C-alpha cells in the first residue's frame, strides 16, 4: 500500500477515537549520532500527532532515521536607516532527508502574535509535523525564528503601527531582508540545490512571502504559498482587521511586482480576516499583475486561521499539486486521484 495514503488516512481515522488532541506529550528527541542533529521521533506533539507519527514510522519503505532535524545559527544584518544596523544570529531549524545529496529548499515564515509576551513564548519555531511531510517530499525545510521572537530575541522589527495608522508595507522590510540572507546562507550548503525552492508564509509570514516575491528574482525561489496571510488582526476585533482598505492597497502594491506564481489558501472561518477580505485582497493582488490561485479551505475548529498546523489534510492535496506544477515534486497517488 502507498505510504503517503497510509500517512494521511491516519489523520482521517484517528480523530474519531482520539478526542484528546489538545493534551500535549513531551517526548525527548533521540540522538542520531551526528553532532547537533536529532532524528525526528516526537517532540511536543498532540496525542493525535504522536500516534500518526508512530503509524508512518512503521510503514514499509519509510525510515524515520532518514529524516533529521538540525538547529543552526545564521548571522544576519538589518539596516534600519539613520545608520542604525542590527546584527544578530537567527536560530534556524533545518529538517531534511539525510539520504538526499541535493534538494530544493522550502522556507517557512511564521506569524506574529499580538503581544510581546506571546512573541517571547514562541521559543524555537519548528513546524515539526509539516516539516517532516515536506522533507518526505524531497525538500530541505528551513524555519528561521525571526528577530524579535522566541529564542532568537531582539527588537520588534515587524511592528506596523497603531491600528488607526498602519504601515503594512514598511513593516515587511526587516523580515524580507532576514529571509534573503537565510537563503543566501543555505545556498552554500552541500545538500541544497540553490536554484530552486518554495517560500511558505503563515499569517504575517504570508504577507512577508508575497513581499519577497515582489523583489529580487535571483533568490532561488520558484513559487510562494500564502497561508492565511495578513496583518492587523487579533482577538479584540474579530473578522475586522485594522484599516482593511489600506491593507488591500498594500496587497495591490505587492501584486504589481509579484513575478512568482503564488498559491493563496484561507479557511472559511478565519476569525482574524473573515471570509470577504481575503478574496478582496486576492482580487487586488491579481488585478495589479500578481500571478496567483485562490483556494478556499474548509472551516476548522473555532478559528481556521491556524489551519496550517491544526488541519493538514485540508491543504496537503492543493499544496502538493502546486509543488508538482512548479516542477519540484512528483504527484502521489492521492494527488492524481483528486485532480
Q: What is the CA radius of gyration of the chain?
A: 19
Q: Could you give the CA distance from residue 8 to residue 3 in angstroms, rounded to a whole number?
A: 9
CB contact at 8 A, 258 and 214: yes
User: The domain 69-338 belongs to what CATH superfamily?
Assistant: Alpha/Beta hydrolase fold, catalytic domain (3.40.50.1820)
Residue 204 has pLDDT above 70, yes or no: yes
pLDDT band at 20 (very low <50, low <70, confident <90, very high): very low
pLDDT tens per residue across span 233-289 = 988 999 999 999 999 999 999 999 998 999 999 999 999 999 999 999 999 999 999
Q: Could you give the CA distance from residue 198 to residue 105 in angstroms, rounded to a whole number?
A: 6
C-alpha cell at 105: 529548499
* Percentage of the chain lying above the pLDDT 90 cut: 72
CB contact at 8 A, 182 and 92: yes
**pTM, whole model, 2 decimals?**
0.82
Q: In angstroms, how far is the first alpha carbon of the chain from the final one?
A: 20
pLDDT band at 128 (very low <50, low <70, confident <90, very high): very high
Query: Looking at residue 1, what is its pLDDT?
Result: 31
Q: Stretch 96-107: mean pLDDT, rounded? A: 95
Q: Could you give the CA distance from residue 221 to residue 231 in angstroms, rounded to a whole number?
A: 23
pLDDT tens per residue across span 292-333 = 999 999 999 999 999 999 999 999 999 999 999 999 986 654
Sequence spans of domains, the chain = 1-62, 69-338
Query: Looking at residue 17, what is its pLDDT?
Result: 35
Query: Looking at residue 54, what is its pLDDT?
Result: 54
CB contact at 8 A, 127 and 309: yes
C-alpha cell at 1: 500500500
Amino acid at each position: 500500500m502507498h505510504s503517503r495514503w497510509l500517512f494521511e488516512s491516519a489523520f482521517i481515522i484517528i480523530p474519531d477515537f482520539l478526542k484528546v488532541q489538545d493534551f500535549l506529550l513531551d517526548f525527548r528527541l533521540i540522538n542520531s549520532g551526528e553532532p547537533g542533529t536529532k532524528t525526528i521521533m516526537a517532540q511536543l506533539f498532540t496525542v493525535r500527532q504522536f500516534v500518526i507519527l508512530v503509524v508512518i514510522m512503521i510503514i514499509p519503505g519509510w525510515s524515520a532515521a532518514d529524516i533529521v532535524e538540525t538547529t543552526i545559527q545564521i548571522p544576519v544584518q538589518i539596516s534600519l536607516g539613520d545608520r542604525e544596523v542590527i546584527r544578530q544570529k537567527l536560530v534556524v531549524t533545518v529538517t531534511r532527508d539525510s539520504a538526499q545529496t541535493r534538494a530544493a529548499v522550502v522556507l517557512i515564515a511564521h506569524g506574529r502574535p499580538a503581544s510581546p509576551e506571546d512573541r517571547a513564548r514562541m521559543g524555537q519555531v519548528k513546524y515539526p509535523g509539516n516539516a517532516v511531510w515536506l522533507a518526505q517530499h524531497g525538500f530541505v525545510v528551513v524555519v528561521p525564528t525571526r528577530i524579535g521572537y522566541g529564542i532568537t530575541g531582539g527588537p520588534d522589527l515587524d511592528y506596523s503601527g497603531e491600528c488607526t495608522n498602519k504601515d503594512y508595507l514598511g513593516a515587511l522590510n526587516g523580515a524580507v531582508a532576514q529571509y534573503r540572507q537565510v537563503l543566501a546562507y543555505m545556498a552554500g550548503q552541500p545538500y541544497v540545490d540553490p536554484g530552486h525552492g518554495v517560500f511558505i508564509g503563515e499569517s504575517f509570514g504570508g504577507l512577508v512571502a508575497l513581499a519577497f516575491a515582489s523583489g529580487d528574482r535571483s533568490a532561488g525561489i520558484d513559487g510562494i504559498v500564502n497561508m492565511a496571510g495578513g496583518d492587523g488582526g487579533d482577538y479584540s476585533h474579530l473578522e475586522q482587521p485594522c484599516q482593511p482598505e489600506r491593507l488591500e492597497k498594500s496587497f495591490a502594491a505587492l501584486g504589481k511586482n509579484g513575478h512568482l506564481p503564488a498559491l493563496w489558501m484561507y479557511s472559511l472561518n478565519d476569525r482574524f480576516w473573515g471570509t470577504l477580505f481575503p478574496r478582496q485582497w486576492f482580487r487586488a493582488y491579481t488585478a495589479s499583475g500578481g500571478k496567483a490561485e485562490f483556494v478556499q479551505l474548509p472551516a476548522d475548529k473555532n478559528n481556521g486561521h491556524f489551519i496550517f498546523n491544526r488541519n493538514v489534510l485540508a491543504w496537503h492535496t492543493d499544496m502538493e499539486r502546486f509543488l508538482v506544477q512548479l516542477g519540484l515534486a512528483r504527484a502521489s497517488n492521492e494527488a492524481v486521484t483528486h485532480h
